[in-house]
Amino acid sequence: MSHTETPSAQPTARPTAQPGTGSVVVFAGVAKRYGTHLALTAFDLTLQAGELVALLGPSGSGKTTALRVLAGLESTDDGRILINGDDVSGLPTSRRDMGMVFQSYSLFPHLSAGENVEFGLRMRRVPAAERRERAAAALALVGLDAHYGRFAHELSGGQQQRVALARALVTRPRVLLLDEPLSALDAKVRVQLRDEIRRIQTELGITTLFVTHDQDEALAVADRVAVMRDGRIEQVGTPEELYTRPATPFIADFVGLSNRLPGVVRHGFARVHGVVLPLLDPSHADGPVRVYVRQEDLTLVPAGQPGDASSNTSPAGTSLAGTSPAGTSLAGTVLLSSFLGSLRRTSVQLDQGGTVVVQHDVRDRHEPGAAVVVRFAGAPVPVEAAI
């Protein structure tokens, strides 16, 4: 892929960033090798001014590497990195003007929280009085103004990461980099701090790259999510786009919870046990495929209810794909139903073989062994050619 080519999934960059509202960051065809292993290849991504982009992907997909390359902590083997149009590839980390929060606790143990926050200002030779004032303000921003004199070992994990966030923000960096800053925290603090990061980020309008392997986290806070796989970006889009229109089965599988069902593609439609579903990519070649159907795109109805249309009894040959109401549901037996607080997840053994998991309202209960009908909502599905 050539470096001049603009990534297809990106909207055109806004021409100029307003001062104080973040910078435009462009990765253009960046490659990074560790020995023979390609940690990043043809990595293209643009962050608009003030935008929060989450970098999502499985372990080892190169998320941290992308972040470190932007921070200058790793060199690139190919490609360019632009901030507001300037190539920063040659700049050392200390001159790139980035704020970074690390996955592991990284407060300087010999300094108090306040002195930690002051560190970046000290490096920029800000006078002592102003330094103290700005550090206190930054700590107030993360709700820790009362902890100025505390040392790292006197703070909880969540508080340490807040101080680290204040330390990264106090210099008003051009870009904020977050490498799984919440992964060491427990679930409740995670959600709280994640929302707080989003609030502060919006307030300051700072361009932010947020690395995570937690899809909930990514979908919840990001303006856009970039899903990585094997050192390159598989899809970039808003959380809604990613969720409703996954570009590839990998994305469908990675974002949200999907059932994987055997099927056949013919004339732009997928057929699963006689149920006909529209394809996300109608140009997909005919043949046997794996079909990804989201758990919440299925509904459960007790067998024999009006309108359930025991379609499975109709011959699978009905060819009026999508238009026939008779091609939208399958009969099965409930295997197991689990209560998950705000929703319920039920697995169903299909009469025609295979199991599906259905996510539905907690108020609908289906006892194991009950005969049910699984109805397909008919949302376009991604498919993957079966070998």
Ligand X SMILES: Nc1ncnc2c1ncn2[C@@H]1O[C@H](COP(=O)(O)OP(=O)(O)OP(=O)(O)O)[C@@H](O)[C@H]1O
- Residue 120's binding partner among other proteins, Mg ion, ligand X, none (Cβ under 5 to 8 angstroms by kind) is other proteins
Question: Is residue 65 part of the contact set for ligand X (CB under 6 A)?
Answer: yes
Task: Say which entry of ligand X, other proteins, Mg ion, none residue 208 contacts (CB below 5 to 8 A, set by partner kind).
Answer: none
Residues that contact Mg ion, how many (by CB under 5 A): 1
Q: Are 94 and 103 contacting, i.e. CB atoms less than 8 angstroms apart?
A: no
Q: Considering only residues 5, 14, 86, 123, which one is a binding residue for other proteins as defined by CB under 8 A?
A: 123
Q: At its nearest, how many Å lie between Mg ion and the CB of residue 42?
A: 20
Residue 126, Cβ neighbours under 10 Å: how many? Answer: 18
Token pair for 188: 């409740």
Question: What is the closest distance, in whole angstroms, from the C-beta atom of residue 102 to other proteins in the complex?
Answer: 6
Residues in binding contact with ligand X, number by CB under 6 A: 12
To other proteins, the closest distance from the beta carbon of 206 in angstroms equals 14
Report 158-177 residues binding ligand X (CB under 6 A): none
**Per the structure block, which two tokens stand in for 229?**
């796989």
65 binds Mg ion (CB under 5 A): no
- Under the binding rule (CB under 6 A), the answer on residue 213 touching ligand X is yes
Q: How far is the CB of 55 from ligand X (least distance, A)?
A: 8
CA distance linking residue 17 with residue 242, whole number of Å: 26
Judged by CB under 8 A, the residue of 31, 138, 177, 225 near other proteins is 177
131 contacts other proteins (rule: CB under 8 A): no
Q: Nearer to ligand X by C-beta: 226 or 275?
A: 226
Question: Shortest Cβ distance from residue 114 to other proteins (Å)?
Answer: 14
Q: Is 279 left (phi over 0), alpha (psi -120 to 50) or beta?
A: beta
Q: Which stretch binds other proteins (CB under 8 A): 56-64, 102-110, 216-224, 276-284?
A: 102-110
Contact 194, 221 (CB under 8 A): yes
- SS3 for the chain is CCCCCCCCCCCCCCCCCCCCCCCCEEEEEEEEEECCEEEEEEEEEEECCCCEEEEECCCCCCHHHHHHHHHCCCCCCEEEEEECCEECCCCCHHHCCEEEECCCCCCCCCCEHHHHHHHHHHHCCCCHHHHHHHHHHHHHHCCCHHHCCCEHHHCCHHHHHHHHHHHHHCCCCCEEEEECCCCCCCHHHHHHHHHHHHHHHHHHCCEEEEEECCHHHHHHHCCEEEEEECCEEEEEECHHHHHHCCCCHHHHHHCCCEEEEEEEEECCEEEECCEEEEECCCCCCCEEEEEEEEHHHEEEEECCCCCCCCHHHCCCCCCCCCCCHHHCEEEEEEEEEEECCCCEEEEEEECCCCEEEEEECCCCCCCCCCEEEEEECCCCECEEECC
In the complex with other proteins, the residue whose CB is nearer, 160 or 215, is 160
Q: Which is nearer to Mg ion, 39 or 126 (CB)?
A: 39
Q: Can you tell me the distance from the alpha carbon of 249 to that of 34, in angstroms, rounded to the nearest whole number?
A: 28
**Least separation in angstroms between CB 164 and other proteins:** 8
Q: Which is nearer to ligand X, 60 or 380 (CB)?
A: 60
- Applying CB under 6 A, among 62, 79, 158, 239 the residue interacting with ligand X is 62
Give min distance, CB of 359 to other proteins, in A. Answer: 40
Residue 37 interacting with ligand X (CB under 6 A): yes
Stretch touching ligand X by CB under 6 A, among 5-13, 61-69, 306-314, 322-330: 61-69
Q: Does 64 bind Mg ion (CB under 5 A)?
A: yes
171 is a contact residue toward other proteins (CB under 8 A): yes
Residue 325 engages other proteins in binding (rule: CB under 8 A): no
Judged by beta carbon, residue 68 or residue 360, the one nearer ligand X is 68
With CB cut-offs between 5 and 8 Å by kind, which of Mg ion, other proteins, ligand X, none does residue 37 bind? ligand X
Q: State how beta strands 207-212 and 224-229 pair.
A: unpaired
Q: Return residues touching other proteins (CB under 8 A).
A: 71-73, 92-100, 102, 104-106, 108-110, 119-120, 122-124, 151, 153, 164, 167-168, 171, 177
Q: Return residues touching ligand X (CB under 6 A).
A: 34, 37, 39, 57, 59-65, 213
